[in-house]
Amino acid sequence: MNKNVTIAGKSFEDLKQINEHGAEYWSARALQFLLGYSQWRRFEQAIDRAISSCKESGNPPENHFAGAGKMVELGSGSERIVEDYCLRIG
């Protein structure tokens, strides 16, 4: 993975998060634009294909893709939960 790619001053390394077990992961919603996807549904399709490929190759997808919800603010000032994924390497 090229960690030098940036968009709006953000890189893969800037978007990295650490869970309570010390494992690194990335929010799919945060990576979406960095990877060139302007629409969530298109990026989600790519994630679905990656999950299928992972299964077909005998790798447990749950080691790399964990479903997650993310609270976002709407234009009206209210909030709602949208689907997200925690993406892990290794």
Q: Which of 66, 82, 77 is nearest to 29 (CA)?
A: 82
Q: How far is CA 43 from CA 4, 20, 71, 88, in A?
A: 21, 26, 18, 16
Share of the chain above pLDDT 70, in %: 89
How much is the mean pLDDT over the chain?
A: 86
Look up the pTM and report it.
0.73
The tens digit of pLDDT for each residue in 64-82 reads 898 887 777 888 888 888 8
